[in-house]
Structure 1
Amino acid sequence: MAQPRVIIIGAGPSGVRCAEALVAAGLRPTVIDENRRDGGQIYRRQPDNFTRPYAKLYGTEAASAQALHESFDALRDKIDYLPETLAWNIFDGHVHVVCNQRARSLPYDALVICSGATDRLMPVKGWHYAGTYSLGASQIALKAQACAIGRQIVFMGTGPLLYLVASQYVKAGAQVAAVLDTSPFMRRVAALPKLLARPKVLRNGLTLVMGLKRAGVSVLTGITPLEIKGSPETGVQGVVFHDARGRTQTLECDAVGMGYHLRPETQLADLARCAFRFDQETRQWLPEVGEDGRTSVPGVYLAGDGMRVLGADAAEIGGRLAAMAVLKDFKFDVPEDQLQRLRAEQASMERFRQGLVQAFPWPAEQAAQLPDDAIVCRCEAITAGELRHVVCDMGAREANRAKAFSRVGMGRCQGRYCGNAGAEVIAHAAGVPVEMVGRLRGQAPVKPLAIAVLEEKQ
């Protein structure tokens, strides 16, 4: 019997561990990686000519990053690795990819999508000024380009990544003016029983916060962002916010790193025709996933943060479980005790995830409070007022209808960065629950392709 053709999209923690488990079973999977090298976003490798030590680059995650990189290095001659390759469409049992302006389609019997997560962003007036970055972009600048996003930086948002990136900048010697967290401190206290499901991870998080304070960084919780001050000519000049007591404060800075935890990258799952469901806890649409990463589409599996955001070590477990699901579905022997152990580990991580959702909630109310002149969609420069106009005056109460009338979510990011907040603005203007707004439909290509791309003959 011929071996099944297995394609893995993504070479982050879940993709690497999935490939490792498949190779151990005697398969040779194809691994498609949009990045230049393995590691994903969380363990993004530095360029070959950079020599910063793991401890400085990855902090508390240094050992995990090094272990993953070494595992992938050991796999290189046992897999078909396609770096710097964009998977831009999935259709009719094929993954359509482009590399070096050459496009081709790859057939599969089993497809494991390990697409990871991206920043979840909530607009604030002035966030379109030069010098405003997502937390993920701030990390890329530091890890892959060895530079800071500014000379005096404010990190604003909520979630563990906020503190991790700020700590990485402090370790690199950058000047961090403040960390502004929208989540009230008492939310974390209330979430402690769930967060204690993973005491080591909780301890690492507390260590990051204490390290920032020891470095003299102001850490404020329960804030409400009002505006990023600046101009088209000068870029970012400061941040205005209400503190936990409701007092208006202003901080001078020339760069802002923003992020409200993470959201799964789901466009490829959408193109693969996977079913979605609305998650009330996080107020977003997520793919429906059964046991061990199986989706509603036979032969398509999800693993890691592209399924739901559990963190890097949980993504490694998810990758192994998805590989085992593939093996079982193609009649390979899978040790049941190992399967049960991984499922139990994942269950404890799910409880921790619920604690994070409780401790660092998505600030949906900020969307309702956005002034009409605040830009929601940076790609198309669509303001909150324009979006409210198509809802209230043109009857566009559904996400894709509002997109057609206003162009919100029609730009380069295809709603990755404005989709969640845009839905909240629409829901508030229409006076309906956000789930009734629906979600922006994924369309190929998931990212822009150059006009010069040529299709290879099969």
Structure 2
Amino acid sequence: MATARVVIVGAGPAGIRCAETLVKAGLKPILIDENRRDGGQIYRRQPEGFTRDYRALYGTEAAKARDLHESFERLRQHIDYRPDTLVWNLVPRQLCCVSQGQHTTVDYDALILCTGATDRLMPIEGWQLAGTYSLGGAQIALKSQAVSIGHRVVFMGSGPLLYLVASQYVKAGANVAAVLDTSPLSKRIVALPKMLARPGVLLTGMKLLAQLYQAKIPLHLGIKPKQVLGDAASGVSGVRVRSAKGETLEINCDAVALGYHLRPETQLADLAGCRMRFDEASGQWWLALDEEGRTSVSGVYAAGDGAKIRGADAAEHAGRLVAMALLEDQQKPVDAGLRAEQRRALAVMDQFRLGLAQAFPWPAEQAGALPDSAIVCRCEMISAGELRRTVSEKGACEVNRAKAFSRVGMGRCQGRYCSQAGAEVIAAAAGVSVQQVGRQRGQAPVKPLPMVIIEEPS
């Protein structure tokens, strides 16, 4: 299939390196991206006309961001680039897309999903109040609009992104009231041998911590979130947590950014029929892939955080590797040395990933401790009590059955924010493992569509 029509979805680190590798092999892939500009989330470009320098915008990742953007500029004339285009559904060998209100279809012989990840969230009582954001949302506001989400911001959750976004806010001059981490210091000490697999990245993380301490930002480890304070009329007014010492802390703020690592965007792969697997380390469902990015469906590949959460550096390696897998499947020559190099790099990053999961664990136990009044699904305003009643009164111990009874995950976000936490609530109520509860199946449209869409010309 020398003239295979190759489509890549996603112009982040994985998608760009994948396209670059294919172009070097003589192919001209179609690169579809939902964003208006390349870079993905971590290296999201500022809008045209904004002039903040790379150091101010990306901090410790400035050099990597510049390199990726410059690589894309060199690549752009050699690919069929389609920005501002949402892939909302797929059928075998065809994508359904919307761009600026225009509906189109794109046929493919080979599909490479580099769809990235979104925030992984655990609800807290009051998180439906205006002024509560995800960490990714807070980061987008800063990068894309050069604004803070509030006048006085609390960052709460766990994982490297918590510290990265908080430090970016400090660097931008925003007022950060506190950084509240659910993971205790002891977890990080135990995980240190695994995280030493990437000493440079570990050092960068320590520098971010040092910047927060130097800026005199209150930092609390091992906390238990209790409530976002405020009311429906005025929004967020503060947060209440329990400290590692058992003390109740209340911190005044008008905005909260929440997040616990990331969750892969697997909806398109799910619609394609790709097999999933449960990852014990992170406690969530990921795509089942071979070492080079082949899914269980012939002609469908995946790379980057949309397949396996390992970070931006790993996404670049995975993007190159999945391109080589496709080339090999197309009977085209592949640089064996380069392929081995990518595999070795990813093996190191896998070890580091396991260390991060151990150091900053997903707080599954918080789901069982949520009061019945706490909202789990913000789109449909479904409470923890309603979910528990689907278990106790209707026997719904599987997440899709609970969804049918309660509407959890049926709203605008299509379960992106609530499905994993909802599964934890169900598992705790039913007394089973979250793996037994299962995962919410993907549905089209994977994201909201405009009410009026113009069909493509026939």
TM-score by length of 2: 0.99
SS class of match (1:345)? helix
CA RMSD of aligned residues (A): 0.7
Q: Which residue of 2 aligns with 1:80?
A: 80
The answer on 1:352 being equivalent to 2:375 is no
Q: Which residue of 2 aligns with 1:319?
A: 319
Q: What is the distance in 2 between the residues matched to 1:165 and 1:27?
A: 37
Query: Residue 401 of structure 2 aligns to which amino acid in structure 1?
Result: R
SS class of match (2:228)? strand
Q: What is the distance in 2 between the residues matched to 1:251 and 1:245?
A: 16
Q: Which residue of 2 aligns with 1:286?
A: 286
Q: Which residue of 2 aligns with 1:155?
A: 155
Q: Which residue of 1 aligns with 2:271?
A: 271
Query: Residue 443 of structure 1 aligns to which amino acid in structure 2?
Result: Q
Query: Residue 288 of structure 2 aligns to which amino acid in structure 1?
Result: E
Query: Residue 216 of structure 2 aligns to which amino acid in structure 1?
Result: G
Q: Which runs of 5+ in 2 are unaligned?
A: none
Q: What is the distance in 1 between the residues matched to 2:314 and 2:92?
A: 31
The CA deviation at 1:291 is 2.2
Q: What is the distance in 2 between the residues matched to 1:370 and 1:291?
A: 39
CA deviation digits over 1:404-425, x for unaligned, max 9? 1000000011111101100000
Q: What is the distance in 1 between the residues matched to 2:264 and 2:68?
A: 21
Q: Which residue of 2 aligns with 1:385?
A: 385
Moved more, 97-106 or 61-70: 97-106
Q: Which residue of 2 aligns with 1:369?
A: 369
The CA deviation at 1:389 is 0.8
Task: Kindly report which structure 2 residues correspond to 1:221-260, keeping only aligned pairs within 5 A, or say none.
Answer: 221-260=221-260
Q: Which residue of 1 aligns with 2:188?
A: 188
Moved more, 99-108 or 374-383: 99-108
CA deviation digits over 1:400-454, x for unaligned, max 9? 1100100000001111110110000001111111111111110111011112112
The CA deviation at 1:457 is 3.3
Q: What is the distance in 1 between the residues matched to 2:414 and 2:181?
A: 27
The answer on 1:330 being equivalent to 2:330 is yes
SS class of match (2:74)? helix
Q: What is the distance in 2 between the residues matched to 1:185 and 1:192?
A: 11
The answer on 1:10 being equivalent to 2:32 is no
Q: Which residue of 2 aligns with 1:55?
A: 55
CA deviation digits over 1:332-383, x for unaligned, max 9? 0001111111100110000000000000000000000000000000000000
The CA deviation at 1:2 is 4.3
Q: What is the distance in 2 between the residues matched to 1:119 and 1:320?
A: 25
The CA deviation at 1:48 is 1.2
Q: Which residue of 2 aligns with 1:434?
A: 434
Q: What is the distance in 1 between the residues matched to 2:114 and 2:301?
A: 9
SS class of match (2:292)? helix
The CA deviation at 1:60 is 0.4
The sequence identity of aligned pairs, in percent, is 62
TM-score by length of 1: 0.99
Q: What is the distance in 2 between the residues matched to 1:107 and 1:170?
A: 46
Q: What is the distance in 2 between the residues matched to 1:335 and 1:277?
A: 30
Q: What is the distance in 2 between the residues matched to 1:311 and 1:278?
A: 19
Q: Which residue of 2 aligns with 1:142?
A: 142
Q: Which residue of 2 aligns with 1:305?
A: 305
SS class of match (1:455)? coil
Q: Which runs of 5+ in 1 are unaligned?
A: none
Q: What is the distance in 2 between the residues matched to 1:311 and 1:286?
A: 15
Q: What is the distance in 1 between the residues matched to 2:284 and 2:199?
A: 28
After superposing on structure 2, the runs of 4+ consecutive aligned residues of structure 1 that deviate more than 4 Å are none
Q: What is the distance in 1 between the residues matched to 2:306 and 2:2?
A: 30
The answer on 1:69 being equivalent to 2:69 is yes
Q: What is the distance in 1 between the residues matched to 2:435 and 2:27?
A: 41
CA deviation digits over 1:177-221, x for unaligned, max 9? 110000011101111101000011000000000100100101111
The answer on 1:423 being equivalent to 2:388 is no
